[in-house]
Structure 1
Amino acid sequence: MANHKSALKRIRNSETKRLRNKYQHKTTRNAIKKLREADKKEAETLFPSVVSMIDRLAKRNIIHDNKAANLKSKLAKHVGAL
């Protein structure tokens, strides 16, 4: 157990951030799955919002920048092929 007030606060903050990151990451993954299953018209309308979500995750270091780039590239390729 933590011995300092600052360590206890760090534990609380870390848990809060972990839950927020987990929620945002899961929400983005669900949006990606929804986009992959959508037809062309719906996929084209979803694409900008999904890319925005991916960029937000990369900016906050929830996912790596290269992973974000790979995801966006694959999704753009998928939407273009529909």
Structure 2
Amino acid sequence: MPNSASAEKSLRKANVRRERNRQQRSTLRTTVKRFRTLLGTKPSQQEADTQFSLVVKALDQAAARKLIHKNTASRVKSRLAALKKKTFVG
């Protein structure tokens, strides 16, 4: 329990930030999952490229906001690109 007014405010701020981060992280994960599911349904190349660019944008924005680490964003983008390539080449 906070012992001062400033500690109470800090706790409120931390709770608001935690909730916002949880929502944004959940949205990001959903975006990535939807792309993976889309690839499983054999979409057209153009549709896959469009969705891939949206996922990459979301990952880059999340990394810029420090929601996820930049290397994590890079790793996920790389794996999704490899999966997309495998879907259309293999």
Q: What is the TM-score when the length of structure 1 is the normalising length?
A: 0.87
* Structure 1 equivalent of residue 43 of structure 2: 40
Consecutive unaligned residues in structure 1, runs of 5 or more: none
Consecutive unaligned residues in structure 2, runs of 5 or more: none
* Structure 1 equivalent of residue 61 of structure 2: 56
Question: Sequence identity of aligned pairs in percent?
Answer: 38
Corresponding residue SS for 1:2: coil
Letter in 2 for 1:48: S
Question: Which of 1 and 2 has greater Rg?
Answer: 2
Q: Distance in 2 between matches of 1:49 and 1:11?
A: 34
Quote the offset at 1:75 in angstroms: 0.9
Q: Distance in 2 between matches of 1:46 and 1:52?
A: 10
Pairs aligned (count): 82
Letter in 2 for 1:2: P
Letter in 1 for 2:77: K
Q: Distance in 2 between matches of 1:62 and 1:2?
A: 26
Q: Distance in 1 between matches of 2:9 and 2:48?
A: 43
Q: What is the TM-score when the length of structure 2 is the normalising length?
A: 0.80
After superposition, the C-alpha distances for 1:25-62 in whole angstroms (9 at most, x for unaligned) are 11111111110111333332211111111112211222
